Amino acid sequence: MADPHFGGIKIRHLYKIFGPNVEAHVNAVQKGLTKAELNEKHGHVLGLRDINIEIPSGRIQVIMGLSGSGKSTLIRHINRLIDPTAGEVLVDGVDVVKMRELELRVFRRHQTAMVFQKFALLPHRNVLDNTLYGLEVQGVERSQAVDIAMRWIERVGLKGFESTYPNQLSGGMQQRVGLARALSNDAPVLLMDEAYSALDPLIRMDMQTVLLDLQKEIRKTIVFITHDLDEALRLGDQIAILRDGEVIQQGTSQDIVLRPADDYVANFVREVNRGRVVHVEAVMAPLGSGLSPHGLTIPVGTTIEDAMRMIANGPDNEVAVVGQDGKPLGAVNLRQLAGAMVNSHAAASENSGSLASAL
């Protein structure tokens, strides 16, 4: 289980330039030289510009963006598979950028684990031996490694397949092996780079559910890369949206959906089912004097969609919204909830421009 004292991740003023002479241009980029100008005038590519993200311990941070936005480049800075041009990457208070080779090797083995889009399983190893591979690298004794691996194989739903080889498994099952392997290391940081992008939609939803269910117990600090907004909204405690190597907006699912920072983000959220994202407290009205909180109540944190279902199946048109202590905070009715969904869609539709024009 993740260390409860783990301090999370802080990324500060992170820049990445690709090219043969990055030191000659980093100062100009920091002063405002654009990605296009850097490429046209100097033949260098700007991967990341002034990234600042703070990820609390035990949370799922989603990094989202279209192809070429810099999201995979960013996640590879956390375990320093890519060296930054400038900036800091603090993991549990220690700057990964300043680590020497031996220290970095230990950090990668014990502090982070990674789940890849293409599964990255060893074809000559069966499920058990793929799962315990990281423990083997760490020097864990075989019998102990087998015990740990078997526990995670069962947790991800692959009990009975431990002697099976990757080419005998479906894509979803292979990704479960990859997840079990990462979890077997018991590293506090789990990096997932487009981990579910190669899966069919139904299998993808299933794997999202597996991750969310496991996270309730393991409480890892997870950085999850995706280009899929529905996936981001479902998984992320926090979401950061990237475009051309820059963070355009950071916030919760509700922040992104209700308050898009610009037309680019608004176009991302245009077709989102807000009823599954927005919570009742965002739309509730003051509690009416004649409304009693002793009948049907709706707890804070309930989505609009679930609240509508509860009211529709109950005796009252208007019900109280209550906090965790059971005290009423406001009220909602079917008209308010339905209006919030319709008005949100209308507001999104008013944002001009298409996604293509925003790129």
CATH, residue 206: 3.40.50.300
* CATH number of residue 312's parent domain: 3.10.580.10
Q: Give domain status of residue 344, yes or no.
A: yes
Domain that holds residue 169: 54-269
pLDDT at 286: 85
Q: Give domain status of residue 200, yes or no.
A: yes
Higher-pLDDT residue of 65, 317:
65
What total of structural domains would you count in the chain? 2
**Dmax (CA) of the chain:** 72
313 shares its domain with 175 = no
Average pLDDT over residues 344-357: 37
Q: What percent of the chain has pLDDT over 70?
A: 92
Which of 244, 269, 294 is the last residue before a domain boundary?
Answer: 269
Residue 242: which pLDDT band, with cuts at 50, 70 and 90? very high
Of 96-100, 162-166, 210-214, 330-334, the one with minimum mean pLDDT is 330-334
Average pLDDT over residues 86-101: 97
Residue matched to tokens 């279209």: 66
Residue 348: which pLDDT band, with cuts at 50, 70 and 90? very low
pLDDT at 347: 38
Q: Give domain status of residue 13, yes or no.
A: no
Residue 5: which pLDDT band, with cuts at 50, 70 and 90? low
Q: Give domain status of residue 21, yes or no.
A: no
The closest alpha carbon to 94, from 115, 118, 110, belongs to 110
pLDDT at 359: 31
76 shares its domain with 127 = yes
Residue 35 has pLDDT above 90, yes or no: yes
Higher-pLDDT residue of 210, 351:
210
169 shares its domain with 314 = no
Q: Give domain status of residue 357, yes or no.
A: no
Q: Give domain status of residue 39, yes or no.
A: no
96 shares its domain with 228 = yes
Of 87-101, 112-126, 245-259, 289-303, the one with minimum mean pLDDT is 289-303
Residue 291: which pLDDT band, with cuts at 50, 70 and 90? low
Which of 206, 237, 269 is the last residue before a domain boundary?
Answer: 269
Average pLDDT over residues 215-223: 95
Which of 226, 253, 269 is the last residue before a domain boundary?
Answer: 269
184 shares its domain with 294 = no
pLDDT digits (tens, 9 = 90+) for 141-192: 999 999 999 999 999 999 999 999 999 999 999 999 999 999 999 999 999 9
The answer to whether residues 73 and 82 touch, using CB atoms and an 8 Å cutoff, is: yes
* Phi-psi map region of 291: left, alpha, beta (phi>0 left; psi -120 to 50 alpha): beta
Q: What percent of the chain has pLDDT over 90?
A: 68
254 shares its domain with 281 = no
Q: Give domain status of residue 63, yes or no.
A: yes
pLDDT at 343: 58
171-184 and 142-155 helices, crossing angle to 10°: 130
Average pLDDT over residues 219-247: 95
Spatial distance between the Cα atoms of 227 and 71, rounded to a whole number of angstroms? 9
